[in-house]
């Protein structure tokens, strides 16, 4: 039975990876171009007038945040659009009636989101390093944070897709929640620049922890200790996974 589950998991992974890689001009290239433009405008052009941030030139400081932005948006949107399309076309019913555990369905779709998020993040990283090469402080921390973040937001995209009733519903969370939280997550500034009140408020934003941890992996500086970043990531991963598993097990939002 374990072998059959493994075959099912690989099949969903393959389908999800083929889905976004087949139309790479729409799924991979646009976010790379967007992050490159962010880097050129905010880092190259404006950064020269800002000077240093936490002891680093501004262009180096914002680089980890831009990579994390691309990972968050792409891992989320990949799973949200893919799972909702399967639900809308009634393809998801084939999985629900098949002898496949809910865990396999979740890990299959999430695996596709993680693959796209890491792929886009890697390409953005390569492009940005072309402009300003520098040594990474800890490759292990970089990979760990980027993987956990992609996993978390893939779960969030899956959760959104389960509840969504129209295609418009899967764009509400990225527009009104993810975008504000990301821009207020310390991508373009250090929390040390904020007044104590706003610095405290910012610590309720989970994306602040992810960007801080990712920046630590690149530069060795952090607004928040890395242990808190990992605790926040694991907490939300377990929370979202539990909710998604319950919803799929009970067929909430999936069965008429």
Q: Encode pLDDT of 71-128 as tens digits.
A: 999 999 999 999 988 888 887 777 777 788 889 999 999 999 999 999 999 999 888 8
Residues 6+ apart with CB under 8 A from 207: 68, 72, 181, 182, 184, 185
**What band does 255 get if pLDDT is binned at 50, 70 and 90?**
low
Query: Which residues, in sequence order, are bridge partners of residue 53?
Result: 56
Q: Which residue has the tokens 């646009």?
A: 30
Whether pLDDT at 59 is above 80: yes
Q: Give me the mean pLDDT over the 222-245 stretch.
A: 94
pLDDT band at 226 (very low <50, low <70, confident <90, very high): very high
Angle in degrees, 0-180, between the axes of helices 206-219 and 58-88, rounded to the nearest 10: 130
Q: What is the pLDDT of residue 77?
A: 92
- Interacting residues of 39 by C-beta distance below 8 A, sequence separation 6+: 59, 62, 63, 66, 127, 128, 131
Top pLDDT among 44 and 130 is at 130
**Once rounded to an integer, what is the mean pLDDT over residues 206-220?**
92
What mean pLDDT is predicted for residues 223-236? 94
Identify the pLDDT of residue 57.
84
- Per-residue model confidence (pLDDT) at position 256: 56
More confident residue, 44 or 9: 9
Tell me the C-alpha distance between 157 and 155, whole Å: 5
Give rounded-to-5 percent helix, strand, coil for the chain. 80, 0, 20
The answer for residues whose C-beta is within 8 angstroms of residue 181's C-beta and 6 or more apart is 205, 206, 207
54 CA to centre of own chain: 25
Whole-number Å distance between alpha carbons of 19 and 21: 6
Q: What is the DSSP letter of 192?
A: G
How far is residue 249 from each of residues 17, 144, 167, 209, 241, measured CA to CA in Å? 24, 29, 23, 31, 12
Q: Structure tokens of 15? A: 């389908």
pLDDT (0 to 100) of residue 172: 83
Question: Average pLDDT of the chain?
Answer: 87
- For residues 254 and 61, give the distance between their C-alpha atoms in angstroms, rounded to a whole number: 43
Q: What is the pTM of this model?
A: 0.92
pLDDT tens readout for residues 132-148: 777 788 899 999 999 99
Q: What confidence score (pLDDT) does residue 154 get?
A: 95
Nearest to 77 by CA among 145, 158, 180: 158
Q: What is the pLDDT of residues 140-175, one digit of tens each?
A: 999 999 999 999 999 999 999 988 888 778 888 888
Percentage of the chain surpassing pLDDT 90? Answer: 36
């Amino acid at each position: 039975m374990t072998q059959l589950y493994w075959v099912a998991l690989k099949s969903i992974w393959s389908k999800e990876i083929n889905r976004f890689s087949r139309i790479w001009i729409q799924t991979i290239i646009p976010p790379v171009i967007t992050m490159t433009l962010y880097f050129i405008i905010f880092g190259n052009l404006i950064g020269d007038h800002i000077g240093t941030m936490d002891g680093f030139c501004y262009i180096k400081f914002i680089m980890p945040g831009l990579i994390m932005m691309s990972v968050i948006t792409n891992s989320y949107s990949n799973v949200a659009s893919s799972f909702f399309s399967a639900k809308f076309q009634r393809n998801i019913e084939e999985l629900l009636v098949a002898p496949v555990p809910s865990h396999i369905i979740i890990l299959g779709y999430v695996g596709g989101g993680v693959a796209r998020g890491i792929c886009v993040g890697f390409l953005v990283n390569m492009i940005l390093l072309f402009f300003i090469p520098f040594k990474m402080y800890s490759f292990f921390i970089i990979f760990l944070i980027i993987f956990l973040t992609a996993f978390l937001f893939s779960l969030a995209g899956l959760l959104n897709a389960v509840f969504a009733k129209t295609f418009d519903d899967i764009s509400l969370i990225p527009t009104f929640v993810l975008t504000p939280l990301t821009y207020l997550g310390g991508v373009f500034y250090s929390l040390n620049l904020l007044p104590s009140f706003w610095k405290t408020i910012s610590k309720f934003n989970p994306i602040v922890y992810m960007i801080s941890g990712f920046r630590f992996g690149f530069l060795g500086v952090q607004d928040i200790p890395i242990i808190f970043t990992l605790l926040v990531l694991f907490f939300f991963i377990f929370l979202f996974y539990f909710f998604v598993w319950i919803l799929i097990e009970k067929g909430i939002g999936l069965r008429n």
